[in-house]
Amino acid sequence: MMQHHNLKGIKPVYAVVAAALLMSGCQIWPDYLRPEVSVPAQYVEPAQQAAAEHADLNRWWTLYQDPVLNTLIENALQNNKDIKLAVARIEEADAVMREVGAFLFPQIDLDAGAKRSRVTEAGANQQLTNNPRSNYNGQLGTTFELDFWGKLRRGKEAARAQALSTRYAKDTVALSLTGLVATNYLSLRSLESQIAIAQENLKSRDASLALTKRRLEGGVASSLDVLQAQVASSNLSAQIADLNRQRSLSLHQLAVLTGDLNLAVTGLTASAPELNALPIPPAPPAGLPSTLLEARPDIRQAEEQMVAANANIAVAKAALYPTISLTASLGGESMELGDVLKSAARIWTGGVSLYLPVFDSGKLNARVDQASAKQKQALANYEGAIQSAFREVNDALVNLRQYTEREQALNISQEEAKKALAVSENRYQSGYSSYIDVLDAQRAYNDSSLAFVQSRQARLTATVDLFKALGGGWKPADQK
């Protein structure tokens, strides 16, 4: 009869568990839906027609065919401190996600102890035996919160979104890092080319200075010509010194980016091709859709933050509803250690607990409002990231087109300035023109030569900016 009575007492508990499992699919907040952001279907600036059909856009820097650049970027991706920091944040977010996910499963605890005690025999318990006495117990207990309103599941969803966000943050850091390394390397190569041009022009000016001095000694030239030649030579020497200063600063920046503070100028670009010999990477195809922005890691990061914010609203709302938990324990307790596992020493409990906040002065509702406000912030951040990305792509396309046209014009200017310098030197040596014409021609040739190298650097840098703006590249039409 006693056993039958116990079963009847346990049946209501089973009924509560069954009802809880049926209701555990309830949701009090809708699932995340990607918001619509008004962006033109295509970029305003038309792209060029030449496109890469089989380029490795995940390693876009290899398109420059420079082994030194490849090595620098590989070292940066391995040794840069910002990359290591981003990886550590990923590890932290993964651990948080595992911790939050563990709340979806029961927690089992072991509670065991041994105690020996003596009570007074002169008081109310004078008839006690076994004094002093021992007591041994051990039991397994569990507590399991029933996820009626999806609070635990939405908490795990938010943690998962944050973990994904850290991964995209690391990709964003890597994309920015590779762009910085490439830009600084191109600047270094440009400065070295400019130094080489200026040094070559300095030799020409020193030769002109020596010629002018000989002509002065022969009574053909005036002292003014010598002074002007000396000023021109000194000015160019000062320009070379400043170019060397800029080269050192670019090298120092590269050393920090790559994590190699011993990076030296000597031999860094000895085996690399000339700046003018670096190929211009293929441009994206015409009619590039703006939906490619969704592949940018910073936009994916912003979207995952929206997913987390949306889930956190559900977590905050679930706190307004009852929390129902199941508790149970099973073990043994006896006065002798050897009797703890015997059936007579067995103890157990089972129950259901309900917690419902009745009056909290609006604290829980305030938390819901906070979560909603954070979701609005995440939405605004997402929309802003898309708009900024759209502008960056258009800017990069404009810069690439305009720098290409500028380079072509400066190439013609450089060639004509070289011809003009040769003509002016011949006329001066023949006595048909003054030395001021030679100085003007030298200055024009030096300036046009340096400007051409700078324009080449700007054009190459514009391609780097385009790769960064597109999130590393674009997917060819034949790849789905």
- List the CATH number of the domain containing 243: 1.20.1600.10
- Number of domains within the chain: 1
- Asked if the structure places residue 310 within a domain, the reply is yes
User: Domain range holding 372?
Assistant: 28-113+150-321+365-469
Instruction: Say if residues 181 and 257 touch (Cβ distance below 8 Å).
Output: yes
- Asked if the structure places residue 353 within a domain, the reply is no
pLDDT at 459 over 80: yes
What's the average model confidence in pLDDT over 260-265? Answer: 77
32-41 long-range CB contacts below 8 Å, 24 or more apart?
Answer: 32/306, 32/307, 32/310, 32/311, 34/303, 35/306, 35/379, 35/382, 35/383, 37/382, 37/383, 37/386, 37/387, 39/290, 39/293, 39/386, 39/387, 39/390, 40/290, 40/390, 41/289, 41/290, 41/291
- Asked if the structure places residue 326 within a domain, the reply is no
- Asked if the structure places residue 200 within a domain, the reply is yes
The pLDDT value recorded for residue 2 is 37
**H-helix segments, 80-150:** 81-102
pLDDT at 144 over 90: no
Cα dihedral value 375, 380, 386, 388, nearest 10: -140
The pLDDT value recorded for residue 9 is 44
Per-residue pLDDT reduced to its tens digit, 171-226: 999 999 999 999 999 999 899 889 988 998 888 888 888 888 887 887 777 888 88
- Asked if the structure places residue 313 within a domain, the reply is yes
Per-residue pLDDT reduced to its tens digit, 355-368: 888 888 889 899 99
**Whole-structure pTM over 0.75, yes or no?**
yes
What's the average model confidence in pLDDT over 163-178? Answer: 92
- Asked if the structure places residue 293 within a domain, the reply is yes
- Asked if the structure places residue 140 within a domain, the reply is no
The pLDDT value recorded for residue 450 is 92
Per-residue pLDDT reduced to its tens digit, 73-110: 999 999 998 988 989 989 989 998 888 888 888 888 88
What's the average model confidence in pLDDT over 402-412? Answer: 92
**85-94, 303-312, 378-387, 435-444: lowest mean pLDDT where?**
435-444
The pLDDT value recorded for residue 41 is 64
pLDDT at 3 over 50: no
Nearest to 35 by CA among 289, 470, 378: 378
- Asked if the structure places residue 269 within a domain, the reply is yes
Name the band, by pLDDT with cuts 50, 70 and 90, for residue 275.
Answer: confident
Kindly report the average pLDDT of the chain as a whole number: 82
Distance from C-alpha of 384 to C-alpha of 339, rounded to nearest angstrom: 70
